[in-house]
Every structure is written in C-alpha cells, then in structure tokens.
Structure 1
C-alpha cells in the first residue's frame, strides 16, 4: 500500500506553527519586544489584571516563569509591582508610561504581522481555516 504524498497533518501543522511563531517573534523583536512581554502587556491592557497569579493564568505560564519575565520588564521600566495593601503576599502589576509605549509598538508589529498572515486569503478562507483549527483543537481535547 503506497504511503501518502504529503506529510502527516500533525507534522505539517507543527512545522508551520514553529515557522509562524519564529516570524512573529522576529516581528516583535524588531520593535524591542518578545512573545512573553507581548503576552504580559496585552493581558495587562485587555483584562486589567491586577496580580501576578491572575496574570500567570491569563498568559498561560507558571508563576516562577512569570516572575522571571516581570523582573526583566520591571528592570526595563515597563511595569511596576507593589504589594497589595490588603494582602501583602499579592503583588499588583501595572504598566508604566514606557510600558504603554512598548505595548503600542508591539501592537503595531502584531497588527502588521496579522495582515501579512492574511495576505492572499479571502474572508471565507480565513473563516474556514479558523474552523479547521477549532476542529483540530477539539480532536486533541477529547
């Protein structure tokens, strides 16, 4: 029985995802950003999250990893952290003016990258692709 003429779907998807991910990382790096910084900044902006635990959950990373990224972002002047007066074990995280500017720069890079990804795709193709991605996610969530 002859084998398929194309790679297995999982392999093809994995290669494409890595390639797209690297290209997105490069687009963010061109404006001084990174994927972890982008995820943290967009979570702070869109969810108005106040503490590190909520932020770690929203970004999908472990607390220690988040702390590492927040330390670097705080050293760069992008965020501030302070203890919650009501619960000293909780750190409140806020964007600084420099963090707002970094968010704006990364948002511009992300939007330009998204337009690049959509190049040559119709709205119907994009919608169909999103449905396929959702089905693939459902297939592995069982």
Structure 2
C-alpha cells in the first residue's frame, strides 16, 4: 500500500514549478528569481545593509554576500559606507537596477496570469489570499512592505 501524499507536498511542488516559470521568464533579463526578489525588496528598503536585506528576503549571510557581488558586477546595485555608521555598508539600486524593476514586475504579472489561467480567476484569487494568510500565520511578511490589514484573510 502506498502512503498518502502529505497535504503540504502539493504546495511545495507548486512553489517549485512557479519558480521554474519565473526563471524561464526572467532569463531574457539576465537575472534569476532570487536576484529579482532582492532587487524588488530593495525598491522598498534601500538604502539597506546587506545583513538587513538578507534577513528580509530569507537568504543566508554567505548567500547574500555572493548575491551582492553578482548584482554589483551586473551594475544593478551599489555598495557604499553608511555615513551614520561608518563600519556598516549600505546597498542601493543603480539606475540600471531601477530600470529592471518594471520588467521584473511584468514577469511577476505574467506568472500571476499563468496561475489564473491554470485555476480560473476565482480559484486563483482564493489561492493568493490563502497564500498570504499562510505566510502571515507562519511569521512571514513581504520584505520592505507594510503588513496587510489584519481584516484581510
């Protein structure tokens, strides 16, 4: 007898497939999904320390260091000394990084539309609402954005 699939496996597998779709659509922009999430987070957080950014997007300090180096090399961000705390560096989007945000947002919209096409508009909106609710219940919030109103499920 085969064991029953655990309920959360559908969520985990779907998340992987959504990230694959993001990766496919971001490839022409020359960036990966995690890099896109970091750039979008910086839109709301910059200037921000590398440590704060890593914590906000859920990347290890070592992973964030590698990501920072790649984004610096691509010309999407700058790193400078924080004038208030000279021992700390802050990251900011460059004009080139800012210019990528509209294209990244278009990719996010295309992925949302793909989900709507797959599930239908009503079920997709229910999924999105429940995903936000689950994220909050598990202690997460989107980086650099205010929490959603508590009345929204």
Q: 1:78 and 1:130, CA in 2 relative to 1: closer, same or farther beyond 3 A?
A: closer
Summarize the Cα distance change of 1:127–1:91 in structure 2 as closer, same or farther, 3 Å threshold.
Answer: same
Could you tell me which residue of structure 2 aligns to residue 18 of structure 1?
A: 16
- Structure 1 unaligned segments of length 5 or more: list them: none
- Distance in 2 (alpha carbons) for counterparts of 1:91 and 1:79: 12
Query: Does structure 2 conserve the Cα–Cα contact (< 8 Å) formed by 1:49 and 1:55?
Result: no
* CA offsets 1:31-84 (integer angstroms, 9 cap, x no match): 222112111111111233422122112111122211110111101111000111
Instruction: Provide closer, same or farther for how the CA distance between residues 30 and 10 of structure 1 changes in structure 2, counting only shifts above 3 A.
Output: same
* Aligned CA-pair RMSD: 2.6
What TM-score do you get using the length of structure 1 for normalisation? Answer: 0.79
Structure 2 residue ranges without an equivalent (≥5): 140-153
Distance 1:104 1:20 in 2: 19
**Bigger Rg over Cα:** 1
Q: 1:121 maps to which residue?
A: 120
Q: Secondary structure at the match of 1:61?
A: coil
Corresponding pairs, count: 137
Of 28, 31, 36, the residue aligned with 2:29 is 31
- Using structure 2 for the length normalisation, give the TM-score: 0.74
Q: Which residue in 1 is equivalent to 2:106? A: 108
For residues 86-105 of structure 1, the aligned pairs below 5 Å read 86-105=84-103
Contact 2:18/2:111 (<8 A) preserved: no
- Stretches of 4+ moved more than 6 A in 1? none
